[in-house]
Chain A
Amino acid sequence: MSNERTYKRSWKNLLINKRYQLRFTLFMVGVSALLMAALGWWVMQTANEATNVAIGQVRGEPCPKVPDISEPTDAGGDTKPTTPMKLPPDDPPPAPPSDTDDQDLGHHRNVTVTLSSITEVLPPDYAALAAGHWTCVIDHSGKIEELQQGKMRIFYVLLATGTLLAIALAFYGIKTTHKVAGPLYKITLYFNKMRDGRFDKVWPLRKGDQLVAFYDHFRHAHEGVVGMEKADVERLRALIDAAEAAGVAGSSPEVDAALADLKTILARKEKSLA
């Protein structure tokens, strides 16, 4: 049989001393959660402020204007709106054009419509201006949305980090405190044996356990009690042997009773050391 006992930590029995372990772990998690919440709130306040400033700045950047289509521009000097042409009331309505129109100029009024009077309403770079304007507006909207998304991203990152940190700390805390609670639990098991008068061999701690010095103190204490028991056994055995050799049995009922008691004690002590 191997003389070395190997214990393996398992997640199932990590919480040995719930009161101690949870207290320390919850304190650690609580402090972190408080810090995360308080500073996170501060971060969000500042982020909100910074985002609002940035949004204000974006909104403050002017976009190139687009001339209104319904209003003519000053280009060409014709700012008056075009009005429909009216014929004098005594004039007959114009006849449909015919091949002889050019010869009958005296009877019909000719109207010459030049395209320049229409195109002068819109500036020549209207399309570019409109495109520039709306690109700028879309760009601004995009920037504002991006800024707001950035603010929300900070919030989500904080929330996720806080949650992950709390979970990680809870596990870490329980595992760390287990390294203290483990040796204490082991010593408690030996206490129970010692309380019942059983002085078994004390095995070393697991690798990575804390309270190594404390455990050494316990081992020495155990050795001390075992030493006391051994001294008692030695003394009682020598006395009982001497009493039997001297034939004191039957000399008095008190001696017999006391001797019987000591034999019982000796047997108990020998058994406890076995």
Chain B
Amino acid sequence: MPDTRDTNDKDELPSATVVKDGKVPGDVPRTPPPPAKRAYKRRWSNYLLDKKLQLRYVLLVTILSALISGSLGYLVYQQEHRASDDIAASLAEQVKSDPATYGDLQKEAVADMKARDEALVLKMIGTGLGLAVILVLYLVVMTHKVAGPLYKVSNHFDQMAAGKLPKIWGLRKGDMLQDFFASFKEMYDANRARMTDDVAAMEKLVAACKAAGVAKSGDLSEELEALEAHVAARKQALS
């Protein structure tokens, strides 16, 4: 609802205003908000930028680790199982000689060893899975540091393909391929600077022709108009 108060009437008491969320309606901050900073934050949702590249490496290292852990884990289990079998065999011999004394002991020991062997397998599976999860997460983050710059450069490539050369910013801290990006930025900035200089030179000719009054009609006039439009388009592409 519009405010109908006469603000010039200083004798009149101001009408009550509702303070909401600590702000009076119509309050305008004295200082404008700071310009939006181009700060990119990594999110879990977009960590897999280049699935093919990233998953290839992630799968390679994970499968390799699984193979090593699996085969060595099997060796551990085999050795443990062998020890259990040896003890069981030894106890079985004892039972043969004195079933009354060793019978229960054997059953107890065998059950205990079986439980230990099973616990070992579970422990190994748990450790392996935990390791795989940690490894996959770490590798996704690690490969993202390569895929991120490539994704960013790809976007700039797309802009270049569309005939646009806007200003670009550097990579995030911690990103890899810094050398590659520096090389790209050097090329990009050089082309941008050259285009900007060229546009300035074209603009200068248009202005000089206008000042000299040499292009009032004819082909030159049309060409100058076309050049002006070209300069405007270039300026937009460079902005």
In the complex, which residues of chain B have a beta carbon less than 8 angstroms from the beta carbon of A218?
A: 157
In the complex, residue of chain A having the shortest beta-carbon distance to the beta carbon of B205: A258
> CA–CA, A265 to B51, complex, Å?
44
* Contact yes or no, A228 B158, CB < 8 A: no
* Contact yes or no, A245 B220, CB < 8 A: yes
Q: Could you count the A-B residue pairs with CB atoms below 8 Å apart for me: how many are there?
A: 201
- Flag whether A201 is at the interface (Cβ < 8 A): no
> Nearest chain B CB to A193's CB is how many angstroms away?
9
Answer whether A35 and B61 are a contact pair too, CB < 8 Å, given A195-B187, A265-B201: no
Residues of chain A at interface, number, CB under 8 A = 72
- Flag whether B196 is at the interface (Cβ < 8 A): no
* Contact yes or no, A39 B90, CB < 8 A: no
**CB-contacts of B173-219 with A (<8 A):** 176-177, 179-180, 183-184, 186-187, 190-191, 194-195, 198, 201-202, 204-205, 207-209, 211-212, 214-215, 218-219
- Flag whether A53 is at the interface (Cβ < 8 A): yes
Answer whether A194 and B187 are a contact pair too, CB < 8 Å, given A24-B57, A165-B68: yes
* Contact yes or no, B69 A35, CB < 8 A: yes
* Contact yes or no, A46 B76, CB < 8 A: yes
In the complex, residue of chain A having the shortest beta-carbon distance to the beta carbon of B89: A57
> CA–CA, A54 to B211, complex, Å?
106
- Mostly, the A contact residues are helix
- Mostly, the B contact residues are helix
> Nearest chain A CB to B157's CB is how many angstroms away?
4
- Flag whether B72 is at the interface (Cβ < 8 A): yes
A39 touches which of B52, B68, B150 (Cβ 8 Å):
B68
| A–B Cβ pairs within 8 angstroms, 26 of them | A19-B176, A19-B179, A27-B61, A27-B142, A28-B64, A35-B131, A43-B79, A46-B76, A49-B79, A154-B75, A176-B57, A184-B177, A188-B180, A191-B186, A195-B190, A197-B194, A214-B154, A220-B160, A223-B161, A228-B165, A248-B209, A254-B208, A254-B211, A254-B212, A257-B208, A261-B201
Sort A-B residue pairs by CB-CB distance and give the 3 closest, nearest first. A221-B157, A258-B205, A39-B72
Binding site for B on A (CB under 8 A): 17, 19-20, 23-24, 27-28, 31-32, 35-36, 39-40, 42-43, 46-47, 49-50, 53-54, 57, 60, 154, 158, 165, 169, 176, 180, 184, 187-188, 191-192, 194-197, 210-211, 214, 217-218, 220-225, 227-228, 231-232, 235-236, 238-239, 242-243, 245-246, 248, 251-252, 254-255, 257-259, 261-262, 265
Binding site for A on B (CB under 8 A): 50, 52-53, 56-57, 60-61, 64-65, 68-69, 72-73, 75-76, 79-80, 82-83, 86-87, 89-90, 131, 135, 142, 146, 150, 153-154, 156-158, 160-163, 165, 176-177, 179-180, 183-184, 186-187, 190-191, 194-195, 198, 201-202, 204-205, 207-209, 211-212, 214-215, 218-220, 222-224, 226-227, 230, 237
